[in-house]
Structure 1
Amino acid sequence: MDALRLEWAGGAPKLRAADAMTRRGLVTTVSSPVGTAAVVGWVGSARDRVRGAHALLDTYGRQGAALPSPPGDYAAVLVCRDRILLTRDEQARIPLFFRESGGRVNAVSTSARALGGTGELDPRYFCRYLTGNMAQPHTDLTPFTGVHRVLGGEVVELSLTGQLRGRTPRSARPATGASAPTARGLCLDEAAQDLRLALETAVGRRMGATTACHVSGGTDSTGVALLAARLLAARSDEPRELVLLSGRFSQGELATEQPYLDVALEAIRRHAPAARPVIVDADDVADFDDFRHHAGDADEPHAHAFRAPFWSRLHGAAAGLGCDTLLTGCGADPVADANPFHLHRLARTGRFRQMTRQARAWAEGSERGLRDVVHAYVVQPALPLTAERITALCRGGTVLGGLGAFTRPRWLRPGFARAHGFREARIAQSRFVFGRRPEESLYDAANYLAAPDPLSWHRAGQDGFFLSHPFLDPAVVATMSHLPAMATFRPGSPKAVLREALADLLPAPIRGRAVKVPFDNLYARGLRRHGEELIALCRCARHPLVTEMFDTETLCRAVREARLGIGDAHSWDRMNSSLALVAWLEGLSAGS
């Protein structure tokens, strides 16, 4: 989606924003003696986008690029008196790209497809994409040769004529939680107070004039909605509305979530009686509905396009009520829970007896075997590629058997993988996911895995809002990352700090539940309903890169195995990503 565009005419920069996006408040353009800034999204506060845009322009325009990224969900182009700056927030929710040749940038846009749609495709990108669904937001590569991505928190500096002067990576944000020495002594109550404060600030920063909260009946989304309701009640002098958005299933496993949803809505409306519950009937929705549209029209291949039908149904309901932001509980599972890679830290520092004792507690609390816990959080982070290779050998015999997050799927042709750097891509991906200190890498990886944002971006023009995720706010992540394991881990009680932080708000049935029903039934229904269509999509693909990249018959076998329930979440993700890539390439062919 081309929300803003910067080009050069007669050697002078010309900055323009899409009229429809500007009318809906999704793009804010401001000017001052420093220059002009076009901001997609919001800086500082979703409530006051003009003030945030001015603050960004004044800060970067006067002081240069070597500054921490201001909080917010934004991508911005700043045309100053003596230079041009391109930047994004640290979480990289909103995309920004530039087309460069010979050290000179000739166009900037929020759409990679708009910059390179008729150009040459870069096969290295597709190898990186196929290593896992976190590959896109943290790499410079895009599907199009010569089109580059502005990374999260990065500042790209250009001259007024478009010469590329430099790319400054994000500056480390000062920790907002307790300092390391103090954190060692924190108890659960103190940790909960720190998290509550950070989460309240994150929710308040994201609330607009009409805020929608996705409420599923779980701890995470219910907690965000309760905090929004309290903030709304505390600011009764400001005209604001709250919409409680939920999907309802009257049959199947997901129907058992309805009592929790009813309890959550009742608790939220006690704090904000004027809140409007919007219950969307989702019985007829299945994954992969209208898959060619959701995957084929995206700006880049969208690994989670199979789940787009459900989110689209909810987004449409919120858009009909004029919401200008939609808050979710995405990110709470990895961010607000105890960090399991603490076991890896104990092992690499030689504290094996303590590691074994705590691993046994993890196993008992999560109803898993000790061997599984040690393999997942100690062995695999240390030797991720070797661990996956051994697992694949032990579980061979099917296309999906043993397929993990990094190994080459059997349908990806070995020649294509060798020629275009698949080995290097999976090494880079494994280092990103685990890093030298997996307990720290967990938070960066969670930011790119947790939220289905490409759909939000693709629909923003018609919906009038972006998704926003308080649990992925830098202050919340910093608070949790500085808490010691003893303050966060309670066997049998996931997200213990979060539950304690919201103890006065969460109703007892929700505060006490440890397991939430996943969307497996929606996925299985989608494969049963659309499996033959997906197989036909692979077999009839016309784009030459599909047959060059994939053994389509092997990919079709993977679809059949998934319909029978063979495989696991990792292998299904790899298959879903590949199907989305086929649909995207076909959409590219149709567009050209």
Structure 2
Amino acid sequence: MSSVALAVTPFAESAKSVVEAMLRALEDRSPEWTVSAHASMALGAGARDQALAGERIVSLPSIAVTLAIDAPTWARRHLEPKLARLVDHGPAATPASVVELLSSLTGDAHCVAIIGSRGCVAYRGPMSSRPLFYAIGADRSLLVASQIRGIRAARSTEVSVPGLAPFLVPQLCDPTGTAWSGVRRLPPGHALILLDGALETRQVAQIDPLDAGSAARDELVAEFRRRLLRSIERCSDPPDGVLLSGGIDSSSLACAYAAVRNGASRAYALTYDQELAPCDERRFVDDVERATGMSVSRLPGNRLLPLVAGFPEGDEPEPWAYAARNWGLLRHIADDPVQATATALAGEGGDELLLGQVFSVADRFARGDGRGATREIRTFPDPEGTDRVAQGLLRGDYDRMGARVMRALGEIPPWLTRSYVAEAGIVDRLAAGYPQLGAPGHMAVNYSRGLLAEMGAAGRVQCGGWWEDMGRKVGIKITYPFLDPDLAALVWALPPELLRNDGVEKVVLREALSDLLPVSVAQRRDKAEALALMHAGLGRAIEKIRAVAHDGPLADHRVIDPEKLLSAIDRYQAGDHSLAPALWATVAVDRWLKYQSGEAEGPLV
């Protein structure tokens, strides 16, 4: 993947130069680019070299269409026959026909298209974890770019203080807004369509569950394996490697990858010792290394703590508290003397796709499997509490607006001022943003679809903080096999017992790879406790948090109440660790604002 840009300007001579300026701002991720201009419209594509950038531009002069396509190789190949049919239907394409064409790109795709002299289209695939941004000018101009800095290179814009809300409230996300005034996001599966001066944004693509019909359990498991292995092949681009934590998702990818690649390869792991025992997964990493024959390059992570170790600031505040460890590992991979890894496969997306949790219990009740649901409830740490939650789900309590508002009120950090909460509309945005679970029977699927629909949203951490843009800055493309559209279509058709059964999550994954996974991984039921990293970092940097209350842009803008923040810090130090994510978020936003104003210089040391 690379970068795309599109400009529609009032003056024909400026469109090309605007796109060039936008792509120039993205040269840290795509140093070479190609531009195609048509009257008052221009588009371009950037990549790691000129040849690849040129391949991203598709010109169809017979139907007056030019496209810049940023998508995996398999997806572009899937599009080729459809492009040929569009040309055959000539003599001129319409925005509707181009949108229909692009909606078949269901993977991690971005595309911009110019259609004659009448209009253009920007499209983001329904399984794209990467955001796509646009801005509309008062002069009827339109800018589209893979990253916000591309738009900012062509148009002056200021930080939106209300737009910071998703980065200050960990449970809030905004699928369409950004931290910059006038810059918007295009949600997954949506198209931005400009025709004869009229602009609209609408959903044009989604992933629907397969009709599994009467397929037997072993058939579903075998099909899951086939699709996962195919997804790994799609995501591989040698020289590549796997990000290996030791958890079930990354370990499964490593083992399946070794089988697909038919031999040993390279994996990269962050490791922790007993000083951070809840994060110590070394024995699982060791077992995967032995099972696959992979060479694992390890980076000790004890010192890569939130607010202690550094990472580069991005176009928006960093919502991922563990960005420093990710940045450390990416630099470790880039400096690897053994292999010049260009692509890293990440296991993120597995939780969003495969976790059944209490939703699968409610689904079993709804499908008539009361005995199985009751048995499953007993496997949770708090069976009585789980049963209350499941019954609430069956009654539809969690979709009712009153319950959503009450939940929202409890999730707003108490140090945000009332005026800011009201100005930013935080309560309503939180209440409206929770996933809609719908009727019992498909709640696990609806919850999964809701989470994946938030990919790339403002304030939302997706893909475990392995931001594609961050990887590009060190020359590494990060891919996510669990975010494959064909795999998702199958998973969303599975019965709930293949998601969770007998207290075991991700049942279908474990069964599908039972011959490849080490026993220790296949039988593992726990996860590393990442919050231990946050507490270690916040504990060492508590004075940095206090400094935000004493002096800083959030206090200056009356976003926070300094006394309430100091009180919360005291409660955190006294043992109320539930405040940790919001404390991190407050410091991250304050630091980002200082960076934007030139008060802070680069990463923490």
TM-score norm. by structure 1 comes to 0.81
**Correspondence 1:247 to 2:262:** no
Tell me the residue number matched to 1:476: 487
- 1:79 and 1:311 map into 2 onto residues whose CA distance is 37
* Deviation (angstroms), 1:364: 2.2
Tell me the residue number matched to 2:596: 588
Tell me the residue number matched to 2:288: 264
- 1:363 and 1:165 map into 2 onto residues whose CA distance is 50
Q: 2:415 aligns with which of 411, 415, 422?
A: 411
Secondary structure at the aligned position of 1:367 is classed as: coil
Deviations 1:413-447, CA, capped at 9 Å, x for gaps: 122222332222022112x3545664333112332
**Correspondence 1:574 to 2:591:** no
* Deviation (angstroms), 1:488: 3.9
Q: 1:97 aligns with which of 133, 136, 139?
A: 133
Q: 1:364 aligns with which of 378, 392, 414?
A: 378
Q: 1:78 aligns with which of 113, 136, 140?
A: 113
* Deviation (angstroms), 1:586: 2.4
- 1:54 and 1:556 map into 2 onto residues whose CA distance is 59
Tell me the residue number matched to 2:60: 33
Q: Which runs of 4+ in 1 moved over 6 A?
A: 52-61, 388-391
Q: 2:353 aligns with which of 320, 332, 335?
A: 335
* Deviation (angstroms), 1:226: 1.6
Matching residue's letter, 1:286:
L
> RMSD in angstroms over aligned alpha carbons?
3.5
Tell me the residue number matched to 1:324: 342
> Are the counterparts in 2 of residues 215 and 261 from structure 1 also a CA contact under 8 Å?
yes
Q: 2:48 aligns with which of 24, 40, 43?
A: 24
Q: 1:536 to 1:131 in 2, by over 3 A?
A: closer
* Deviation (angstroms), 1:169: 0.9
Tell me the residue number matched to 2:157: 119
* Deviation (angstroms), 1:182: 2.2
- 1:188-207 equivalences under 5 Å are 189-207=218-236
* Deviation (angstroms), 1:156: 1.4
> Are the counterparts in 2 of residues 112 and 299 from structure 1 also a CA contact under 8 Å?
yes
**Correspondence 1:157 to 2:193:** yes
Secondary structure at the aligned position of 1:536 is classed as: helix
* Deviation (angstroms), 1:339: 5.3
Deviations 1:422-473, CA, capped at 9 Å, x for gaps: 222022112x354566433311233236734665234234222332222222
> Are the counterparts in 2 of residues 212 and 326 from structure 1 also a CA contact under 8 Å?
yes
Matching residue's letter, 1:248:
T
- 1:390 and 1:169 map into 2 onto residues whose CA distance is 30
**Correspondence 1:217 to 2:233:** no
Matching residue's letter, 2:382:
R
Q: 1:462 to 1:541 in 2, by over 3 A?
A: same
- 2:168 and 2:568 map into 1 onto residues whose CA distance is 15
Q: 2:315 aligns with which of 299, 316, 328?
A: 299
Deviations 1:81-140, CA, capped at 9 Å, x for gaps: 34322112213322221111358233222233553585344454334554545614xx22
Q: 1:283 to 1:489 in 2, by over 3 A?
A: closer
> Are the counterparts in 1 of residues 284 and 520 from structure 2 also a CA contact under 8 Å?
yes
Q: 1:581 to 1:408 in 2, by over 3 A?
A: same
Q: 1:182 to 1:76 in 2, by over 3 A?
A: same
TM-score norm. by structure 2 comes to 0.79
> Are the counterparts in 1 of residues 111 and 123 from structure 2 also a CA contact under 8 Å?
yes
**Correspondence 1:507 to 2:518:** yes
> Are the counterparts in 2 of residues 43 and 73 from structure 1 also a CA contact under 8 Å?
no
Q: Which moved more, 1:276-285 or 1:28-37?
A: 28-37
> Are the counterparts in 1 of residues 553 and 590 from structure 2 also a CA contact under 8 Å?
no
* Deviation (angstroms), 1:381: 6.4
- 1:60 and 1:540 map into 2 onto residues whose CA distance is 59
Q: How many residues align?
A: 543
Tell me the residue number matched to 1:422: 426
Structure 2's unaligned 5+ residue stretches are 33-46, 88-92, 601-605
**Correspondence 1:490 to 2:501:** yes
* Deviation (angstroms), 1:386: 5.4
> Are the counterparts in 1 of residues 498 and 506 from structure 2 also a CA contact under 8 Å?
no
> Are the counterparts in 1 of residues 243 and 345 from structure 2 also a CA contact under 8 Å?
yes
- 1:264 and 1:419 map into 2 onto residues whose CA distance is 51
Secondary structure at the aligned position of 1:155 is classed as: strand
* Deviation (angstroms), 1:516: 2.7
> Are the counterparts in 2 of residues 360 and 370 from structure 1 also a CA contact under 8 Å?
no
Secondary structure at the aligned position of 1:246 is classed as: strand
- 1:96 and 1:343 map into 2 onto residues whose CA distance is 36
**Correspondence 1:173 to 2:174:** no
Tell me the residue number matched to 1:561: 571
> Are the counterparts in 2 of residues 152 and 170 from structure 1 also a CA contact under 8 Å?
no
Secondary structure at the aligned position of 2:375 is classed as: helix
* Deviation (angstroms), 1:387: 5.4
Secondary structure at the aligned position of 1:583 is classed as: helix
- 2:241 and 2:589 map into 1 onto residues whose CA distance is 31
Q: 1:69 to 1:537 in 2, by over 3 A?
A: farther
Deviations 1:513-547, CA, capped at 9 Å, x for gaps: 21133223222210111121122134321367x54
Q: 1:377 to 1:197 in 2, by over 3 A?
A: farther
Tell me the residue number matched to 2:182: 146
- 1:408 and 1:254 map into 2 onto residues whose CA distance is 28
- 1:222 and 1:334 map into 2 onto residues whose CA distance is 17
- 1:276 and 1:481 map into 2 onto residues whose CA distance is 34
- 2:289 and 2:552 map into 1 onto residues whose CA distance is 46
Q: Identity across aligned pairs (percent)? A: 20
- 1:529 and 1:370 map into 2 onto residues whose CA distance is 38
- 1:75 and 1:94 map into 2 onto residues whose CA distance is 9
> Are the counterparts in 2 of residues 543 and 589 from structure 1 also a CA contact under 8 Å?
no
- 2:598 and 2:333 map into 1 onto residues whose CA distance is 31
Structure 1's unaligned 5+ residue stretches are 235-240, 270-274, 392-403
- 1:326 and 1:101 map into 2 onto residues whose CA distance is 38
Tell me the residue number matched to 1:395: none
Secondary structure at the aligned position of 1:97 is classed as: strand
> Are the counterparts in 1 of residues 131 and 147 from structure 2 also a CA contact under 8 Å?
yes
- 2:345 and 2:425 map into 1 onto residues whose CA distance is 38
Tell me the residue number matched to 2:12: 11
Matching residue's letter, 2:315:
D
